Amino acid sequence: MVMFLSIYVVPRMSDLFTGFGNELPTVTQIVVGLSRWLSANVIWFGPLVIIGAIFLFIWSRTPVGRLQLSALILKIPLAGSLAVQLSVAQATRSLATLLAGGITLVESWEIASESITNLELRRRSSSILPMIREGRSFTESLETAGWLPPLAIDMIGIGERSGSLREMLDEVAVFYDAESEVRLEQLTTTLEPAILVVMGGVVVTILLAIYLPIIQSISNGAGVTGHRH
């Protein structure tokens, strides 16, 4: 609808506006200018957008692109904390399952760390395995990664000191699964109104740009008629 108004309706209305003989409102001048530019350049602008989207898609599949996108996600409010919580749940659940199967902590973490889907968090976790092999405690090794929430570190530390690490890892996974569901709901309820407000604002701006000159012309015409009487 926005593209229809911008490329088809506004340019045709601008021809009508020129016959009014009045200076157009600022919002109308801006919208008409953008609309004329889009109409004049749509032939190459459309393919350019498609090519850019294809290039972005291909780049996002490369190792560098995936890593940079993962880092960008972590900087976005709500989405960043959601990514962290999902990664905590994924890693701790995988680790608990592997430990329950009798696999050593070193081997278990080496496998479980691959379940972290955010590549930036996985990169930050690369220092954990060498520290475990050096004989450091698992909790201390996790702290060096610098991305696990303090609560998760504390819970894992309690489990490690009490000899119930596997059970505590299960508890952490369940807790952060529930937290991620809450965060996902918050993200959804925030995005939906924001998108509606932005789209509504664009449509209202275009409609104002169309109707303000008409209202202005009618007001000026009424004023001239009244003055003659």
Report the b/e string of 88-110 with b at 16+ CB within 10 A: bbbbbbbbbbbbeeebebeebbb
Tokens found for residue 31:
């919208």
Residue 101 is given by DSSP the state: T
Fold assignment, 67-185: Receptor-associated Protein (1.20.81)
In degrees rounded to 5, what are phi and psi of residue 89?
Answer: -65, -45
Q: What are the pLDDT digits (tens) for 18-52?
A: 666 667 778 878 888 888 777 777 778 778 889 99
- Model pTM? 0.72
Tokens (6 digits) for 3: 């593209």
Domain ranges, ordered by start, for the chain? 67-185
End-to-end CA distance of the chain: 44
Residue 228 has pLDDT above 90, yes or no: no
* Residues 39/11, Cβ–Cβ less than 8 Å: yes
Q: pLDDT over 90 for what percent of the chain?
A: 51
**Pair of tokens at residue 36:** 């004329």
**pLDDT (tens digit, 9 = 90+) per residue, 48-101?**
889 999 999 999 899 999 999 999 999 998 889 999 999 999 999 999 999 999
CA 192: distance to chain centroid? 12
CA 116 and chain centroid, separation: 19
Between the CA atoms of 205, 210, 212 and 214, what dihedral angle is there, to the nearest 10 degrees? -170
- Amino acid identity for residue 48 in this structure: L
| Rounded Cα distance, 146 and 25, in Å | 54
Beta carbons within 10 angstroms of residue 52's beta carbon: 10
- Alpha-carbon dihedral 19, 25, 29, 31, rounded to 10 degrees: -110
Torsion 139-148-117-60 (CA) sign: negative
Q: Is the pLDDT reported for residue 142 higher than 90?
A: yes
Q: What is the mean pLDDT of the chain?
A: 85
